[in-house]
A and B are shown apart, each in its own frame.
Chain A
């Protein structure tokens, strides 16, 4: 594999809450333009890893470099804010604002775009993620779970960030909606040259759209490779994950 540009470099990460060590000696690379899935046991620290990459959770030691910025050592916050987008598990929409105002918020914060053009732009973003027009003036409390997720993506994508983080993007969606969501992520990646990091348990998503999957087990990344190759991984947990009954139906050729 040719040397590709690394967008995120996590090195020797150690995170702990009190005496509970979550990550130790964790290394992870994310390359430009790829869709990276992160899998791991429930409660194994996937969300903590995501929060660390977002700069929300300060590690005990180790470094996280995003786009050349060490995010725990005096980074250019403005650059990071307009180049990283995140969709949290339940959307994390601002509950006092309408959907449209949620999508407008990043523009108001980081650009000079205002007025009628802003409304139309926000509505374009909203229909970009497959939400109907009349949803624009609804409050988050009036939206269903799937709509909140889409709205969360619309807000995350507002400024065309280079990096999109998704926390359980398809959890709680029906299979059709989940498949549409996968297609959406791929088409957005292709059009906007995004790099996508998604924490997920959805094997469909992993097999359909991820370029690589990183496996978080035993406090570190034990394997990261294309999903088909992980079945024959040397790591036992990874093997059992991808050879589990649920994963077996994706094994092509019936081996």
Chain B
């Protein structure tokens, strides 16, 4: 159907309304609407009026600057006006402004941060109690949830973790070869690969990967359950949320992260071994022999001792941010991001702290 432009014509004290007044056409009227000298509404000529929809009727009232068009309006316009006119307001409601002065804003931020900290401490305490209870009384443990998290969160991450550490081991060997060859000490490559993979990469890479993979999953799962009121239903049923949701995830991470780390260490050393074999002609047998002679077993244990702490961070940040979800999808997305960022930050920071402590202890 062709559409004709809507218009208001004023000539010799007579006002004539013409055209189709539709949502898709009224913008042009709106732009030059002001200042029509209007004849009495009863004398408006409606004969050229086309179709009218509610946005059009609204624009018409707006353009004419009136709220009532008298009794002579055509039937179709009459019906639209009957529902539009009562709904019209004189002025647009202004958006309520929420702005604070500098100090008020700062104060609110501090209070929010302290509240967050308090919440974190409470959450940590509850989780400790929950995990402790499950350890003391294993019948409280939800084995199915635990096994399911172990499979989805950890077992399924095994291939990617091993691939990543394999390449990191290879890169360390490659870089080490280049540097150490200049010093005529290329045989130390074996030691370099062994120590760095056992102490750092074998632990850090799985932890970082799980911080991206599992922390976000936990936050999203628990957050979605909160939005769907599933957690409320559990509380009413008398289910302890920590016991049902947090404990299995924490325990699953504590159990599997050391295992993943060992797998990652094997993959990393394998990567180093292959590169050494290819570029330095160090045979695998000699590599392993050299590894046993020069790399002390304590490096392995020092790496492994960090894993439970990392595991707790991975699981708890995810669960905590998931539990904090209130309301809409926006909050869910923000909390998942926060969880991952916090977990990554804490892992790197703690790794640095461990390195310092170990150095001071001459380990």
- Taking beta carbons and an 8 Å cutoff, which residues of A are in contact with B? 82, 95-96, 107, 110-114, 116-117, 119-121, 123-125, 127-128, 133-134, 136-137, 139-142, 157-160, 187-188, 190-192
Contacts and interface: CB of A to CB of B under 8 A. Distances in A.
Nearest to A112: B27
B207 to A, nearest CB: 33
A159 B23 contact: yes
B24 interface: yes
B218 interface: no
Interface string B49-69: 000011100110010000000
Given A95-B329, A139-B327, 7 more contacts: A111-B23, A111-B27, A117-B59, A120-B91, A124-B54, A139-B328, A191-B83
B79 interface: yes
Contacts of A191: 54, 79-80, 82-83
Nearest to B79: A191
Given A124-B58, A128-B54, A141 B23 contact: no
B96 interface: yes
A96 B327 CA distance: 11
Interface in B40-92: 53-55, 58-59, 62, 79-80, 82-84, 87-89, 91-92
A110 B83 contact: no
A133 B96 CA distance: 12
12 contacts: A110-B24, A112-B27, A113-B55, A119-B92, A120-B92, A121-B59, A123-B89, A124-B58, A124-B89, A160-B23, A160-B55, A188-B83
Contact of B27 (A113, A125, A133, A188): A113
B26 interface: yes
A112 B328 CA distance: 30
A116 B92 contact: yes
Interface in B78-111: 79-80, 82-84, 87-89, 91-93, 95-96
Interface of A is mostly: helix
B93 A133 contact: yes
Contacts of A123: 89, 92-93
A216 to B, nearest CB: 28
Nearest to B96: A137
A125 B23 CA distance: 13
A107 B328 contact: no
Contacts of A110: 23-24
Nearest to B24: A111
B329 A192 contact: no
B92 A113 contact: no
Nearest to A128: B87
Contacts of B330: 95-96, 139
Contacts of A158: 23
B240 interface: no
Nearest to B30: A117
Contacts of B55: 107, 111, 113, 121, 159-160
A128 B53 CA distance: 14
Contact of A96 (B27, B87, B328): B328
A188 B24 CA distance: 20
Interface string B14-45: 00000000111011001000000000000000
Contacts of A113: 23, 26-27, 30, 55
The 6 A-B residue pairs with the shortest CB-CB distance in the complex, in nearest-first order = A141-B327, A160-B53, A141-B328, A112-B27, A95-B328, A128-B87
Contact of B88 (A95, A96, A124, A160): A124
Contacts of B95: 137
Given A120-B89, A124-B89, A140 B23 contact: no
B89 A107 contact: no
A110 B27 CA distance: 12
Contacts of A192: 53-54, 79-80, 83
Nearest to A106: B23
Nearest to A113: B27
A158 B55 CA distance: 8
B93 A128 contact: no
Contacts of B92: 116, 119-120, 123
A142 B58 CA distance: 28
